[in-house]
Chains A and B, each alone.
Chain A
Amino acid sequence: MSVLVYTESEQGKFKKNALEVASYASAVAKMMGTTVTAIAFNTTEGESLGEYGVSKVMNVKDGSLETFNAGAFAASIAEAVKSTDAKVVILSSSTDTKYLAPLLAAKLSAGYAPNVVQAPDSTSPFMVKRTAFSNKGFAHTQIDTDIKIVGVSNNAFGAHENKTAISVEEISGAADAATNDTKSVEIDKVVGKATIADADIVVSAGRGMKGPENWGMIEELADILGAATACSKPVSDLGWRPHGEHVGQTGKPVASNLYIAIGISGAIQHLAGVSASKTKVVINNDPEAPFFKAADYGIVGDAFEVVPQLIEKLKDFKAQNG
């Protein structure tokens, strides 16, 4: 029996959340007195997981699984669960894992708890703390099935080094027994830029920006900080920014280290999606904007004056601090 962790990779390289989930799995294994096995797909850097407490990697080497396929990935992970007799499966909370996790849960008749923010409260019974009510609360969820699936929130647990002797084994993908003919046709994705899902810093702007033509300074600010850009719902509804950038209760959740909200009022539905971020900064010309009540730092001022200044000063700051 071991803890199985699914570590996501892209073009062979692990995503940042792979190291977080490996660290999480290692903490769970320690609580349970067992070891961690990872399953990865077509990775070229399996051994690096040894730095994060993984003692064995099952690398699915299969050209037909170069791109993510929820059904096929779930089938291979389910096989790995069986062959390692894993009782606990750890995943991230990325869009892809949220696609495959329910399929895996059904295959294994396993209880699944997504958006988990800390190491289990206990492993017997198995209880985890996860966000609920769109970040307005937390639930302590007990998983009662023999096999348990835990989806860890991005940025919640962090990556922790814990050097372990590791072996890497190559395996082939499992056939997806279910009739699943859903296929990827085309991927349209911004490359080389931080995404909202795993960025440390998110620069977000709202209707206060007045129009899409004013987003240049938002993007410039994000570039300097190595941040992802995001927006409030009306901004994406108006077509000023793509839907995928809308954060909040009905959009994407953000759990970054720093969230900068510019010209966003801080409606309850917006706050719900960003409250898991650690430090929140607000720039708004209305001192009564509700966002100031939820923020750590703020500047009361006109975004069209503050943001250009911030860009200039941050350039200097970066030049001095590397």
Chain B
Amino acid sequence: MKILVCISNVPDTTSKINFTDGDTKFDTNGVQFVINPNDEFGLTRAMWFKEKQGATVHIATVGGPTVEPTMRKALAIGADEAFRINTEPTDGFSVAQQLAEVVKNGGYDLVIGGRESIDYNGGMVPGILASLTNMNFINSCINLDIDGNNVTAFREIDGGKEKLSSSLPLVVGGQKGLVEESDLRIPNMRGIMMARKKSLSVLEPVDAIKATEDKKFDKPASKGQVKLADSVDQLIDLLHNEAKVI
């Protein structure tokens, strides 16, 4: 089986969010970048397939040279080969078009992306990619088993989960649940050394439609002081008479 994992390079989950250039750009100053957590679950599931069932695992990222440390980390975790599409990711639609080229040329059976990236929260790359490549698609996937060409998967639904059947080739929008949290891997020294020797190819982008553009950003209004209640009675009173939520 040939697997491609799409990796988004995102600010670490503890990052404080600030904007520059008249609130038109995300301020990367002092921000640590990591593998998007939803993608990390997918990458780990791909490693599981590689180790238990035999698979080749490639990764692809759309971005400039600054994303390479994140890609090296994915290689250190165990991916075999990496592709960087050399253009700044602007919107989900164009990112999906760039990745679709890699998928079409690579003959992948399974493509795993994250349900959404935790920075721009577009939630569209895996689905658009599936459509552009005529592959089946399962979103918010929390469990994935493959037997030959047959896929059994679970996806999260509001209030529960749904079991699905499908077949390869398939695109998955993954998230927590694809593997246990405790199975996520931290690259070890050997992995890091090996990652240096693995192939990281730089591909030039294709022409793509840019469908959306984030023109401006702002932050939620800052909160007033918390009101501490001395008693449960007072809390109920505040919620009923002041906040009017009960």
Binding site for B on A (CB under 8 A): 70-71, 94-96, 98-99, 101-103, 105-107, 109-115, 127, 130-145, 178-191, 193, 195-198, 201, 225, 233, 237, 243-244, 246, 249-251, 257-258, 268-269, 272, 275, 278-279, 281-282, 292-300, 306, 309-310, 313-314, 317, 321
Contact = CB atoms under 8 A, between A and B. Distances in A.
A195 B228 contact: no
Interface stretch (B54-62, B102-110, B162-170, B195-203): B162-170
A131 B233 CA distance: 35
Contacts of A136: 17, 219-220
B9 interface: no
A114 B226 contact: no
Interface residues of B, number: 83
B236 A313 contact: yes
B232 A313 contact: yes
B112 interface: no
Interface string B112-148: 0001001111111111101110101111101000000
A198 B158 contact: yes
Contacts of B176: 243, 246, 250-251
A130 B223 CA distance: 19
Contact of B216 (A140, A145, A190, A272): A140
A269 B11 CA distance: 12
B232 A279 contact: no
B161 A133 contact: no
Nearest to A317: B236
A184 B154 CA distance: 9
Contacts of B232: 299, 306, 309-310, 313
Given A143-B211, A313-B236, 18 more contacts: A95-B155, A95-B158, A101-B127, A102-B125, A106-B96, A106-B130, A133-B118, A133-B119, A133-B120, A137-B19, A139-B216, A144-B212, A178-B131, A178-B134, A179-B134, A268-B14, A298-B228, A299-B228
Given A145-B211, A294-B223, A112 B92 contact: yes
Contacts of B246: 201, 225, 258, 314, 317
A249 B118 contact: yes
Contacts of B227: 296-298
B140 A98 contact: yes
B37 interface: yes
Contacts of A113: 212
Interface stretch (B42-50, B72-80, B81-89, B237-245): B237-245
Contact of B131 (A106, A132, A237): A106
B165 A297 contact: no
A237 B127 CA distance: 27
Contacts of A185: 152, 162-165
B136 A180 contact: yes
Given A95-B158, A101-B127, A137-B17, A250 B118 contact: yes
Given A297-B235, A300-B228, A99 B243 contact: no
> A interface, by DSSP: helix, strand, loop or mixed?
mixed
Interface string B157-197: 11111111111000001011100111000000000000000
10 contacts: A71-B137, A98-B123, A102-B96, A103-B131, A139-B120, A184-B162, A293-B223, A297-B239, A300-B228, A313-B233
B13 interface: yes
A190 B120 contact: no
Contacts of B219: 136-138
Given A181-B136, A298-B228, A132 B162 contact: no
Interface in B19-49: 19, 26, 37-38
A115 B166 contact: no
B114 to A, nearest CB: 10
A142 B215 contact: yes
B88 to A, nearest CB: 16
A250 B37 contact: yes
Contacts of A105: 93, 124, 127-128, 211
A102 B214 CA distance: 18
B181 A237 contact: yes
A319 B85 CA distance: 62
A250 B38 contact: yes
Given A112-B92, A112-B211, A306-B232, A317 B240 contact: yes
B226 A297 contact: yes
Contacts of A188: 160-163
Contacts of A237: 180-182
Nearest to B132: A106
B78 to A, nearest CB: 21
Nearest to B212: A111
Contacts of B137: 70-71, 103, 180, 182
